Amino acid sequence: MPKHFLTSLPLPDFFDLQKIRLKNQLVSFDLEITARCNLNCRHCYINLPANDNAAKEKELTFDFIKKIIDEAASLGALWCLITGGEPLLRTDFFDIYLYLKKKGLLVSVFTNATLITERHAEFFKKYPPRDIEITVYGITRETYERVTRMPSSFDAFMRGLDILLKNGINVRLKTMALRSNIQEFSAISQFCLSRTKDYFRFDPFLHLRFDGDSQRNEEIKSERLSPSEIVTIEKQDTRRFQALRKQCQQIPVGNFERTNCNHLFTCGTGKDSFTISYDGFFRLCSSLWHPNCIFDVKRYSISKIIQNFIPKVRDLRSNNKEFLQNCRACPIINFCMWCPAHCYLETGQLDIVVDYFCKVAHARVEQLLK
């Protein structure tokens, strides 16, 4: 379940991440505690079967996860996202969560909610999360299970969500805009907003598989919406569309001195956060899987990786003229989902023009300028 969504909604008042980020210190980290999932969603970029013993054996032990948490906390981290796969499949989920809380960290959890029980609700009431984010794949059994490809998953999802809501747990709802659920998109939005009135987000951008599985990648591509369809659903979200329109008024978008720079990374990746994969690889962001951009945390401490490895990644450069003359010089790059991480997942390289991304950006701007 991807982490980053374009949204105009503010963060909670009690936790102003932006002010902290200005200090250029470690703020947060993601723990992908498993790649296994009890669902088999058509669009998923990471999931492996729940009973995949090989994947389970690769998962970091609780003792090793504690070491990561200890070091991240010592470096100033304030917030951790527990994600997967489906994190509730880990039998030591409660231990991992509670250890984070005992270290004084704010904790968020991404889950599909199908495994939620009254025991989870009582635990979360006693040790409240910052939030629990749940993806709503459909609001009818037919649509939900068309996406998840798992019989009875809709009933399990509804039961788990109801348990959390009736116990007053801070839940946030979101959805993925897919070919398989687009006919229900408006109804999904209303379903979510009626249960979490101050929060709802959606993501129309489907990333390809972290493991490069070609068959699964074709399934993901078949679930992608066309650029015009993406623009249509974005227009339905007034706040999102207004935020995009405000941004569009600033074209050409900021930091155009970058057009004369061949650094690959001009974003903030790795400056105040990192991600640890279920099998122990350090990444500057959740989507960045290029072999030159990941590091085995079992070999060195987090602090040494941050001090020595991140600067090397951020200094990577491109000599691809097509990329430099097109993407790097593009005045509407901020409306595109292009970045080195997404580009690598799409093409196997960090600096290639991706036609689909480009078409989406132009469709968005064309609609915004009307």
User: What is the domain extent for residue 99?
Assistant: 21-225+268-316
Q: Decide if 7 is inside a domain.
A: no
pTM (two decimals):
0.89
More confident position, 253 or 128: 128
**Distance, CA of 8 to CA of 195 (rounded, Å):** 19
Q: Structurally, how many domains does the chain consist of?
A: 1
Q: Decide if 241 is inside a domain.
A: no
Q: Decide if 81 is inside a domain.
A: yes
More confident position, 117 or 266: 117
The amino acid present at 266, given as its one-letter code, is T
**Distance, CA of 243 to CA of 368 (rounded, Å):** 10
More confident position, 2 or 301: 301
The neighbour count for residue 144, using CB atoms within 10 Å, is: 24
Q: Are 369 and 232 in contact (CB under 8 A)?
A: no
Angle, to 10 degrees, between the axis of helix 141-148 and the axis of helix 153-166?
110
Q: Decide if 251 is inside a domain.
A: no
Task: Give the mean pLDDT of 148-173.
Answer: 98
Q: Decide if 12 is inside a domain.
A: no
Tell me, what CATH number does 175's domain have?
A: 3.20.20.70
Q: Decide if 362 is inside a domain.
A: no
Is the pLDDT score of 192 beyond 80? yes
Q: Where are the alpha helices (DSSP H) in the chain?
A: 17-21, 53-58, 62-74, 93-102, 118-126, 141-148, 153-166, 185-195, 214-223, 227-236, 238-248, 302-304, 310-314, 321-325, 340-347, 355-368
- Band the pLDDT of 233: cuts 50, 70, 90: very high
Q: What are phi and psi of 230, to 5 degrees?
A: -60, -45
The amino acid present at 311, given as its one-letter code, is P
Q: Decide if 259 is inside a domain.
A: no
The model's pLDDT over 14-62, given as tens digits with 9 standing for 90+, comes to 344 444 444 458 999 999 999 999 999 999 999 999 999 999 999 999 9
